[in-house]
Structure 1
Amino acid sequence: MPDPLPLPRPLVLGSTSRYRRELLSRLRLPFEVAAPEVDETPLPGEVPAALAARLALAKARAVARRFPAAVVIGSDQVADLHGEPLGKPGGHDQAVAQLRRMRGQTVVFQTALAVVCQATGFEAHDIAPVRVRLRDLDDAEIERYLRAEQPYDCAGSAKSEGLGIALLDAIDSDDPTALVGLPLIRTCRLLRAAGIAVP
């Protein structure tokens, strides 16, 4: 009699982001969600890509310590305006200030991903940079947009998957969901490497 097939490892998304939860659900894999509880303060002189990569790995490791048998996904996104990190605005006035600084500029959204499994010792990470060129928005456009969509929980103060697409001139990416918060092409690649069958 052949040995029974091993049960697949549980999958945990180490994030409280509703955007990442929705994106991961597209893969039709059962998963749990756990808050990573990681300090997201940038280190002195830390560039945006390094900050995003460090935080994605820290989130995955923090959750993996609580779920050692699971394959854990951590992710983080930092908007990079000429080397300066821009985080989530948190409120209207901060979002207005961000969009005023970004208008007419190219911003690189550094979306980092990490996959960790303590039980197997698996650890891998990747980053998906997305270049976004904003239109030269006037103050009235910024105000109308923010009042309509209130994207105060999004790095860069806009949702490309919603009305925020009207603020943009161009998006350049090799992983189309990266701008929303989780690069699914890279996620599939790392999950397969960790032993999860996708699809």
Structure 2
Amino acid sequence: MSNFKNPRLILASTSVYRKELLGRLGIPFEVVSPKVDETPLAGETTQTLALRLAKTKAAAVASLNPEAWVIGSDQVADLCGAAIGKPGNFERALAQLQLMRGSIVTFHTALCLMRGDIETTVCIPTEVKFRNLKDDVLEAYLHAEEPYDCAGSAKSEAMGISLLEYIRSDDPTALIGLPLIALSGLLRDAGFLIPNSKERTE
């Protein structure tokens, strides 16, 4: 067992948050940008969108690396059936937080593990209740953290936690962007040894 070497693993993502999360498992992996169109389809639900994008990202990288296991993941925030994406700037982030304050938002975090014709997908929902905070508090938060690359404009792993009333999920890492509880199970089923003290991450 001490000489066991895990299969080749690729994270199909440009997210620094997913890279950091996957690194917690202590297994070597590569990072490749999937380069896919993330535009929602007409009539697509938020959960279906998250699952489709996770699979599309994995497939884009897996097609060029047929011998490797590839992880694709995507997250879509849902407010009353409407998708809340990454704001990109202060004005859109403030508008998002104003829209979500006092409301419950469901973050659908989808995961796909793929190699060749083998694929497994799961979607982990996280229910988040936002506090009903005044504009000056929301503005101060945005200036302090600048979470413009974060769906929903609030980083729960940092100062954004102060905007929330509660978080309900079966997997605490799902809200950050990669559900490690579900992923660990999928990787073990695929033949990975976690943890493996003889291997080191990048």
> What is the one-letter code of the residue matched to 2:127?
R
Q: Which residue of 2 aligns with 1:85?
A: 83
Matched, 1:165 2:161: yes
- The CA deviation at 1:14 is 0.3
Which residue number in structure 2 is paired with residue 128 of structure 1?
Answer: 124
Higher relative contact order, chain-length normalized (CA < 8 Å, sep 6+)? 2
Q: CA deviation at 1:192?
A: 1.4
Deviation at 1:137, TM superposition (A): 1.3
Structure 2: how far apart are the matches of 1:128 and 1:15? 18
What is the RMSD computed on CA atoms of the aligned residues? 1.1
Q: For residues 144-171 of structure 1, what are the alpha-carbon distances to aligned partners after superposition, in whole Å with 9 as ceiling and x for unaligned?
A: 0000000000000010000000000000
1:122–1:194 contact (8 Å) kept in structure 2? no
Correspondence for 1:101: 99
What secondary structure, in the 3-state scheme, does the structure 2 residue paired with 1:180 have?
A: coil
Map of 1:174 onto structure 2: 170
1:176 to partner: Cα distance? 0.7
Residue of structure 2 in register with 1:116 after alignment: 114
- Partners of 2:9 and 2:88 in 1: CA distance: 30
SS where residue 76 of structure 2 aligns?
strand
2:133 is the counterpart of 1:140: no
SS at 2:63 equivalent: helix
SS of 2:119's partner is strand
1:76 is aligned to 74
SS at match of 1:151: coil
TM-score, structure 1 as length reference: 0.95
Matches within 5 A, 1:31-42: 31-42=29-40
Q: How many angstroms does 1:110 deviate by?
A: 0.4
Given that 2:6 and 2:27 are in contact with CA atoms closer than 8 Å, whether structure 1 keeps it comes out as no
5+ residue gaps, structure 1: none
**5+ residue gaps in structure 2?**
196-202
User: Partners in 2 of 1:161 and 1:71 — Cα distance?
Assistant: 28
Partner SS for 1:112:
strand
Q: Is the 8 A contact 1:117 1:194 kept in 2?
A: no
Per-residue deviation at 1:193?
A: 1.8
Query: For residue 170 of structure 1, what is the amino acid of its counterpart?
Result: Y
1:11 alignment partner in structure 2: 9
Cα distance in 2 between the residues matched to 1:17 and 1:10: 20
Q: Does the aligned pair in 2 maintain the 1:40–1:55 contact within 8 Å? A: yes
Q: Please, what TM-score do these two structures have when normalized by structure 2?
A: 0.93
Distance between the aligned counterparts of 1:115 and 1:191, measured in 2? Answer: 8
Q: Count the aligned residue pairs.
A: 193
Three-state SS of the structure 2 residue aligned to 1:80 is strand
CA contact (8 A) 2:107 2:128 kept: yes
